[in-house]
Structure 1
């Protein structure tokens, strides 16, 4: 199988997923795309996969450069926030690949866009990560033709009507601060990587993985 892994949001969790994902893709025909409109800042050094020399550079571009340097030309970057149907257009370049959407964003407006994208595709795996300071969960949905296994986050509960990053002022984005806990981001990223590893070994499990302090469980959906 050839997959294209599209990581949307390369901040606290997404940058760690992007950092380790290439190791799983060695000796495969799969590729990856990183999407984020954020710029690396000094505060990101604490819990994200960036270094001092990345400050001032776009996050997706900075990570893609490192990945392509160490693992070959397997990573594309999109240095702005996604808009409706943009991923569908992007996927036209990857017609021979099965798309795997990996959501690591901090706003529901983008999650709605990702779920819209998932619904438009005939075949897709969607892995959506969300967390607060000390806990979080990962929704995994697998779609092939007319069959969908697992629930989208939006099917499980109603999204709050927050703002897409393109609608936020610079001041509002800065005010969001650095509230997530480094260990939580590491645990969330590891859970996402575990699901990707299972997928590559033909053992993908739809459902919800719940991550808490000192605890992690996976709930399989009922048929």
Structure 2
């Protein structure tokens, strides 16, 4: 019998905008930020306070980013987080925040952490930090979910996990799952070969590492999952595996 995860009640009816940390503003992160702004606008129209997003990225825009990421030639040399957040704020009328630094284990926490990074070390820092702060009682900063995006050239995955058990209703049509495994719970990241990760010096080199549309396709799938978390208040799947070469997606069922 299928299992269901019901969204933490605070996300459905918060007193303040739901806090979101977006870590990484590159190929996937730049696409995710745009989707979050659209999601915020839709939530507000539905009577929800919306989102407050903080973007972390220490990198500067380079020539190899143009076309693959949401940057223009005029952005070259600018910090990615500041560039994207400034543009998003102006376009959508927001006051979201940019932090032009790497995410560290002393960063504040948020209700939802979204990682769009290209290396294992960064994911392990995020995982350890979330484990340390999962006891925070301040609902505005209380960490609830971690959504991770990761990809190779033509494949990728999105995994939504819980930072701590989420209270589930006592009476439900299907069995409920209070805890969703995170990326680090599902896989041993110390076994991952990272020799092809990191920045690329040219567009040609970058496209050998990541297909032109793998980031945007993955971002749409992951943000659709996040939208379900808000709009439907429950999930039957908490992730997806994507293969762009075969155009196949395989959902990850709750409780699988």
TM-score (norm 1): 0.83
* Partner secondary structure for residue 86 of structure 1: coil
CA distance, structure 2, for counterparts of residue 198 and residue 146 of structure 1: 16
Deviation of 1:160 after TM superposition, in Å, equals 2.9
* Map of 1:199 onto structure 2: 229
Q: Over the residues paired in the alignment, what is the CA RMSD in angstroms?
A: 2.5
CA distance, structure 2, for counterparts of residue 136 and residue 87 of structure 1: 28
CA distance, structure 2, for counterparts of residue 174 and residue 215 of structure 1: 27
CA distance, structure 2, for counterparts of residue 45 and residue 173 of structure 1: 13
Runs (4+) off by over 4 Å: 143-148, 172-177
CA distance, structure 1, for counterparts of residue 200 and residue 213 of structure 2: 22
- Report which of the two structures shows the higher radius of gyration computed on alpha carbons: 2
* Partner secondary structure for residue 222 of structure 1: coil
Question: Cα 1:14–1:212, aligned 2, differ >3 Å: closer, same or farther?
Answer: same
* Partner secondary structure for residue 193 of structure 1: helix
* Partner secondary structure for residue 160 of structure 1: helix
Q: Of the two structures, which has the highest relative contact order with CA contacts closer than 8 Å and spacing of 6 or more?
A: 2
Moved more, 57-66 or 16-25: 16-25
Deviation of 1:46 after TM superposition, in Å, equals 2.1
Please list, as runs of the form range in 1=range in 2, the aligned pairs for 1:37-48 lying within 5 A after superposition.
37-48=58-69
* Map of 2:28 onto structure 1: 13
* Partner secondary structure for residue 216 of structure 2: helix
* Partner secondary structure for residue 113 of structure 1: helix
Please list, as runs of the form range in 1=range in 2, the aligned pairs for 1:17-56 lying within 5 A after superposition.
17-26=32-41, 27=44, 28-56=49-77
Encode CA deviations 1:170-206: one digit per residue, 9 max, x unaligned. xx74569512112111111101210221122143535
* Map of 2:9 onto structure 1: none
More helix by share: 1
Encode CA deviations 1:71-116: one digit per residue, 9 max, x unaligned. 123310110111212133xx5xxxxxxx111111001111011112
Q: Does structure 2 retain, via aligned residues, the 8 Å contact 1:87–1:117?
A: no
240, 247, 250: which one aligns with 1:217: 250
155, 158, 170: which one aligns with 2:185: 155
Is residue 192 of structure 2 the alignment partner of residue 184 of structure 1? no
Q: Does structure 2 retain, via aligned residues, the 8 Å contact 1:34–1:77?
A: yes
CA distance, structure 1, for counterparts of residue 67 and residue 85 of structure 2: 20
Give unmatched runs, 5+ long, in structure 2: 1-13, 136-142, 168-177, 193-197
